[in-house]
Amino acid sequence: MASFSDEEVREAIMSIIDQEKVVTERELKVRLERKYFPWIVGRVLDAIVNKQLKRVGYRGRRKIGGGAPRHFFTLKGTCYKDIEPIIKKKRELTAQVNCITSGGGIAGAHAENLFLEAFEKLGFKIHGRDMSEFGGKQVEGVSGKAPPNLDLVVERNGVVYGVDVKNWIKYESSEVEKIKKKVDVACKLDIVPFIIARYVDKDTIYKVIYKNRGLTYPYRELLIPSSFRSLADECKSCLGYPILAVDELPDYKVRWLEKLHVDYVTKWSKI
């Protein structure tokens, strides 16, 4: 990402809110993630609340369980009654997405399965899933807990990749730490770190993944089962979330996996 000023980020935030009338913090960060780091968007947002924006909460009685945003952001002077239907809709959609992407939600396993099938289609040898040891090397964990692992270990053309799939919407400094830990696991197993994630910031790509001779595929869209297609459509329209409701990785994404591998082999074979 090129350098940018807080004023530039502020203008981008204001433009979105002017168009959407009311937004969640996560929505802003996702809408702007290809231009600005999410934590920068959050910092600038905090700085302009009570100046040009106001923070409001849902005032209704409807309960929808965990995962619903507590705060929404709108222009100062906006009447709550005018934005209440939008708040209600965004609150419900956000809670549903958070439910399938958090903890043991279905989105994580779904994306992992799709990429596993893609690797198989491309002729990779699958050494295993949830791997904390390989080739005689083993990662030690904290006493009493399972050792950290990688979602997949795959191999082709003599290159062994330690793959971890991160099918997330939320992306903050805590997610960067998760990537660092997975790269560290792959390095300790003496295999190539391969982070496949919906989103990875460019600083982390260069300073963490590439620095350790790793590979990454930021595939952009959240991957969810086709049975959630209506949710995907609503989230794209209402929240600006990039989502694909599919039961098989699209061909263009499979081809990109192939290209990443071929380019990696070509690059490192010359060194």
Same domain for 168 and 258: yes
* Averaged confidence pLDDT in the chain: 94
Residue 149: pLDDT band (50, 70, 90) is very high
Q: What is the pLDDT of residue 64?
A: 67
Same domain for 200 and 263: yes
Give the Cα separation of 133 and 173 in Å (integer): 27
Burial 104-126 (b: 16+ CB within 10 A, else e): ebebbebbbbbbbebbeeeebee
Mean pLDDT over 216-230 rounds to: 98
Query: pTM above the 0.85 mark?
Result: yes
Residue 146: pLDDT band (50, 70, 90) is confident
Per-residue pLDDT for 271 more than 70? no
Can you give the residue range of the structural domain that contains 240? Answer: 106-269
Domain membership flag for residue 1: no
Q: What is the pLDDT of residue 84?
A: 95
Give the Cα separation of 51 and 56 in Å (integer): 14
Q: DSSP string covering 6-45, please?
A: HHHHHHHHHHHHHHHSEE-HHHHHHHHTTTS-HHHHHHHH
Instruction: For residue range 36-60, list pLDDT tens digits in order.
Output: 999 999 999 999 998 999 999 888 7
Residue 270: pLDDT band (50, 70, 90) is low
Same domain for 256 and 240: yes
